[in-house]
Amino acid sequence: MNKKKITKDDTFFHLSIISLSILLLSSCAAHNHSQRSKNISNPNNTPPQLSDKSWVSIHPKVIIITGSASGFGKAAAEKLIAKGHIVYGGDINKEGNKYLDKIGGTALVMDVRKDAQVRAGIRRILKEQGRIDVLINNAGYGEYATIENIDIEDLKNQFDVNVFGYARLQQEVLPTMRKQRSGRIIIVSSGLGKFSLPVLGWYAATKHATEGMADALRLEVSQFDIDVVKIQPGASNTNFVKTAYARLDQSYVPEDYKQMVTNVRAGLDALMTKAGGPEETADAIVEAVEAAEPEISYITMEDAKTFIEKRNSMTEKEFYDMLSK
């Protein structure tokens, strides 16, 4: 039997069929979800799905936020506690996290790289509160180095915190949120999840991974009335950049790259002189927690807004040609 040669048109046809099938399935799922929300009977004995109005009426909300000892996490935790929410903050920095216990929150020792600590923290919240309404995945750090010269162990650690740490928290809270038929997962990503820059490339890679994960997760769990929201901040005057600089200073930079690294650092220094503190991003996190219908993403800080707008309005070649000048 002669085998039919597969042409580009055939490939396009098959891809189109697959895309159409996904759209149809999504439409059916949305229709079925809508019908289930209106159905008063509950044959599976699952908790009723909550409407947007019901989400607003849940007060206080039970919230777990990671990376709560500093930066965006600390600022957001303080604002959420001030609004009367029940806030648990997980952080590897035990001393830096103690402030939570003094202002009405609860400090948890949590290294997001360690399964046991993540699991213990979530179990404690469920034991004490009986539910979890919001997960704010925020813990992360920047490993600044050229793509060629980063230490592989340092790279693994950055992915373990910035990507796998998010996965660990989500896997622990999602079974509860599915049973509740309500919940919200807020992913603190970065403007660098939408584009990349020299020396910041591996950090950007973790945030590109985070963006892809968040968008898929939203499609997977919307049927359970669980929202997934991304926060995409730009440069901010927190310890984040200082820590990244310290690690960059300790790393080996070949002579061929030294001028480029110097130029990138000078650009970042200039940017940081204009950058604000964590307040704008913390306000966006609070909005994402409380809104009846949150945005899919919140872009904060002027540099992120400018770069993302340019990236969206230019071709890929135009954008990266601009950056290379």
Other CB atoms within 10 Å distance of the CB of residue 113? 15
- CA torsion sign, 159 to 173 to 58 to 50? positive
Vertex 306 angle, CA 292 and 273, to 5°: 105
3 state SS of 50: coil
Torsional class of 183: left (φ above 0), alpha (ψ -120 to 50), beta (otherwise): left
CA distances from 75 to 88, 136, 188, 320 (A): 14, 13, 13, 34
3 state SS of 135: strand
* C-alpha closest to that of 210 among 158, 174, 248: 158
> What gap in Å lies between CA 287 and CA 293, rounded to an integer?
10
Sheet holding 62-66, edge to edge: 106-109, 86-91, 62-66, 134-137, 183-188, 226-233, 297-300
For the question of residue 203 being annotated catalytic, the response is yes
Q: What is the dihedral of CA 39, 43, 44, 46, to 10 degrees?
A: 50
**Active-site entry in 166, 203, 245, 320:** 203
3 state SS of 302: helix
Pull the structure tokens for residue 139: 């813990």
- Active centre residues (catalytic): 203
